[in-house]
Each structure stands twice: as structure tokens, then as C-alpha cells.
Amino acid sequence: MKRIALGLALVALATVPLWVGGTYYVNIASQILFYAIFALGVNVLAGYAGLVSLGHAGLFGIAAYTGAKILGAGFGHLSVAVAAFAVTLGVSAVFAVLALRGTGLGFVMITVALGQIVWGVAYRWISITNGDNGVTISGRPAPLGLSLASPRGFYWATLAVFLVAVASMAVFVASPFGASVRGTRDQPRRMNALGYNVWMIRFLAFLLSGFWSGVAGLLFLYYNQFISPQAVALTASAEALLMVISGGTATLLGPIAGAALVVIMKNVASAYIERWNFVLGAIFVVIVVFMPEGLVPGTVRLARWAVSGRAP
């Protein structure tokens, strides 16, 4: 049953450019996919490790800025990717070491500060980042000779990366290490008493989370051909967290659903509803009241109730 649903979903995703109705919507689909990758990355920490971060736009942005600078220096797209991931992992490690000095609220506050530092650098170190004007790039990679310049081409490339991300997340979640991470979320003191190195587990989870945030950031850069401090702002981190929470933390489908919700509201609904921000906010309130566990687990619960007739 699950496999059939999975197969259908794959077919639907692969054929999006054919049925979604126009390049505008293909682009929306691409955005949903790389924001979903970002949300999946944030979910590793917020959902599976129980560590809420409000600074991940910093890692998202660092990958994009690094990519932009390396590309601007004349290097090829492969070098861009390697450099972007190396830098993002390095910065993630620094973030992790600093943030893990705190727990709970302390951790959140440190990540806010770190994200703001990245934003501040992006905004003020004008000689490198061009400040508010941002950095423009031209061109997208052409892996194996296939051009990603068109919306369709880019969509399929993003889809491929998205599928790799989801698959690797699924493997991580089912693995012993994934169980260790969830254990540190539920009972860190007990995990320590059972012989686990809680700090190291959290540190590695942070790196994993940072890596996928960086992947999303690089895709963002190629999509927009542009990176500016706005993508690194606190609101960007908050949005990513909202995607995860509204969709359902500690699930695979949740962050994807949350990303779709936010991107669609931002781009599509905003064309029809002037106060789309208000509507998005109202939707979040409804989710918190009726489905506090998130859209995806909440829908499953309500569906079960509708089918069985028992109380939700």
C-alpha cells in the first residue's frame, strides 16, 4: 500500500512540468523542493535532536554566498559545490561548538546570535558581500551536458537532489545513529548513563543539518541567480522553523508539507490575497490549535478518526 502511494508520488513529482500549468508554477515547484530540503535539514536538529535553531538561514546563506564568490572568481561549478559544502560544514562545526554550550532556551538564543552575525557580515562587509545589493551570478551548472537554464531542466535537477535528500534522511532515521539522536532528544541524561556521548551525537547531527541547509542554499543561489542579506535574516530562519513545526517535526513528510504551505502562500496566494501574510499566520494558529503535532501527523490522526468514527 505504502509502496503504491510512494510510486504514484514519484510519478507525479517527475511529471510536474507536464501538468502543473505554466513555467511560473514549475518555478514554484522548484522552490518548494529546495525549501523542503532546507526544512528537512532544520528538522534533523529541531525534530530528531530536539534542538531548536533559529540561525540556520546563516548556514543556508553561507553556502550561497560562498558559491557566488567562487563562481565570480571564475571557477567551475564543481569547485563551487565543493567549496560551498566545505565552508558550510566548517561554519556548522563552529556554530555547533558554540551553540551546544547552551541547552534549551540558551541553545536557541546562541543560534539566533550566530545567525545574526552572519547576517551582519553579509550586510556590512560590503567589499566581499556587496552589502544590501547582493551578489549576482550568471549561469547554472550543466551536469553531463544537460542544461539547467530552463525552468524544466532546473526543476528536474532539483527534484533529483531532493530525492537524494529524502532517501538519505530516511536511511538516517532508520539507522542506529538516528535512534541515538532521537534518544538524546527524549532522555539525554539516560543516554549519557547508557554510555552514549551526547555532545558528540548532537555535534554530528548539527553537521548533518548544516550540510543539507547548505545544499538548499546553493540551489537557492542557482535558482535566483542572486544572493542578498535578506536570505540570511532572522525571518528566514524563523520561516524554516515554521515550515518544520507546521508540517510536523520528527517526520519525513512534515517538513515537505510545511515548505509547500509556506512557499505556496508566499507566492501563489499573495497574487490573489493582499493580506496573505495574515492568512498564513491564521493557518499557523489553526494548526497549533487543532493539529499541534503538525499538518502531516494531524491529518493522519483526523483521517483515522473519520474512518473509524472514534474520538480523535
- Residues near other proteins (CB under 8 A) are 171-172, 174-180, 183, 186-187, 189-198
CB of 269 to other proteins, least distance (A): 35
Containing 135, the helix (H) or strand (E) segment is: strand 135-136
Phi-psi region of 250 (alpha: psi -120 to 50; beta: other; left: phi over 0): left
**Residue closer to other proteins (CB basis): 178 or 217:** 178
CB of 164 to other proteins, least distance (A): 14
- In order of 123, 131, 175, 213, 250, the CA distances from 127 in angstroms are 10, 8, 45, 25, 41
CB of 208 to other proteins, least distance (A): 8
Amino acid of residue 56: H
Amino acid of residue 258: G
Q: Any bridge partners for residue 136, and if so which?
A: 226
CB of 199 to other proteins, least distance (A): 9
Nearest to 94 by CA among 55, 133, 122: 55
**Residue closer to other proteins (CB basis): 75 or 177:** 177
CB of 247 to other proteins, least distance (A): 18
Q: Which long-range contacts (CB under 8 A, 24 or more apart) does 3-11 make?
A: 10/163
